[in-house]
Structure 1
Amino acid sequence: MAKDAFWFKHDSNARNDQKVMAMRSVYKAEGYGWYWMLVETMRDANAFRLQCDGKYWAYTIAEILGTTHEIAAKFVEDCIKEFELFESDGAFFWSNRLHRDMEEKEAKSLKAKESADKRWKGGQRDDTNVMRTHSEGNAIAMLKEEKRREKNTTSLPPSEDDVPEIFDQGKTENKLQGKPDNGFETFWKAYNKSQAKPKAEKLWNNLSKADREKIMQHVPLYVQAQPDKQFRKNPDTYLRNRSWEDEIIPRMNNPPEGKMAVFYVPGMNHTGKIPANEWPEFFRTNPAVQFKGYE
């Protein structure tokens, strides 16, 4: 398994689950593959869920499954309503089993880390002959799992000299609060979306100095390209997915007639096409996709 792959539990006898067998009786082995493709995609998605509303959501699912958007929409609907493999609130759908497994994993990871911290900070270590315990090693490994694979950057980012007010604001706040200035508050102020701050800070603390510098060059451009906060990724998602290495494509008006817009779905290794005149609306409802050009 690649180092940047995320873990989730997959029982070896999942194919014999009653609900899965009901789905397989209709969609055969292909449906079984589709099901796990969606679960894997949920594992990588924010809040472990996928969108199922709007005009174009089925197109994205179709790219994941390698089928048409009509078949993709019907498969998801059947998995929710007929086979009860997924739950949905009308806007998103998810797997309750995956949610339970990830909550259990997170609880174990935190417990292991807390135990390791107590042993090392409580004076129990022997400086002359000491080895870290297996549980602490697991905790560190789980934290490293959060890092994502690198992507090429094509945008020219601004420097600190170009936007000094953004960079200075967080530094000043750190000094006033007596915190070590590792740049997180600077990032938090510049990103300007108050969601999951503890998670974001934890991810930030695990980044290298070089990555933090790249982030602070990228964030002003990203915020400018996504001025509406509801379409901006949550800060922890931005850091976890190494989004500062994504190309920034501004919203486009007046697309060319008779052309197809080519787009890429980050983290899924899927490329799709839609009519160019539908691109602005598609991008509005699916802000995470990347525009690759017209053809």
Structure 2
Amino acid sequence: MAKNQSYYFSHDINASNDPKIAAMISELGMISYAWWWVLIEKLAAADDYKLPLKKYTFVALDNELRMNNEQILTSVQQVFNKNQHVLEQNSMCSFCSFLLIYLLIHDYELLDCDDEYFWSPSLIRRFEFKKVKEETIREKRRLAGLKSAESRKAKKQNLTHVQQNLTHVQQNLTHVQQNQLIKEKKRKENNIERDTRAREDENPLSMFEDEEVKNKPIYELYMKSIGVVSPTIKGRLDDLVESYGKERVIVAINTTADNGGNSIKYVETVTAGNLKQEVQKDFGASKCNSNARGVSRKNSRKDEDVDWEKEYQRVHGKK
């Protein structure tokens, strides 16, 4: 056993009432009580709580206990008279501490010994009890530490789960927010579209407010006379104006409306037909002095293959 590292040991408050201690004090005097506790302190500090039965031990104890032959012989004269054989058999009987320890072992049974050491059974029991108690406390602390570690681990895992759940919630919230933004964007687009439609219902030409509306009168006339101007119809009206001019398209729209037409194709047909009639009229006036029927018939047959629009441009000096 390693040397005791404790700085204290248990000491009964009524130790002086122990019959063995009381007998020692009665026979050796109160000074023996002080010697006893100094001796116990030395044993408590020794390896295995034992001191060797060696000469150097008793030399040191005589010095520690401040004992001398006269003092010990006076105190134990009557007790030691019956142990004269010890003086005769042991060369160490000249040491006061040896005589005291001999009495503590054989007369008062406060100490025990073998051929090599002496010790206090009570002191060893107390330290063994203290050791068991300390080991029990250490074991409890160890188990408490393990339990605390498990608790911290569980809390950490729970915290991780909470953080993961929070992350999922945040992700779901982000998705919800994204969906809300998408819905809000669609709602705004629908509102814009609805407002645009409502504005177009009040003013159909409002769909062209953000564009160049040089043909706006054409669109307006078409919408009033024939029907709705879609982007496709708008483009075809623009092409008619570009090819035939506003006046001819206006005439064609009015003609279409008068004849009950209801499509852009009808307007295109009327516009082309009006141009053809103009070209024929102008072409006929330029040939009014011709008397050759054959030529007229020939020209009439050629009229079927004439590109009237190009002819019109030729007659009016357009290249």
TM-score bracket for the superposition, by shorter chain length: 0.3 to 0.5
- Which has more strand, going by share of residues? 1
Whose radius of gyration is greater, 1 or 2?
2
Structure with the bigger RCO (C-alpha within 8 Å, sep 6+) is: 1
Higher helix share goes to which structure? 2
Question: What TM-score comes out, normalization by structure 2 length?
Answer: 0.37
What is the TM-score when the length of structure 1 is the normalising length?
A: 0.39
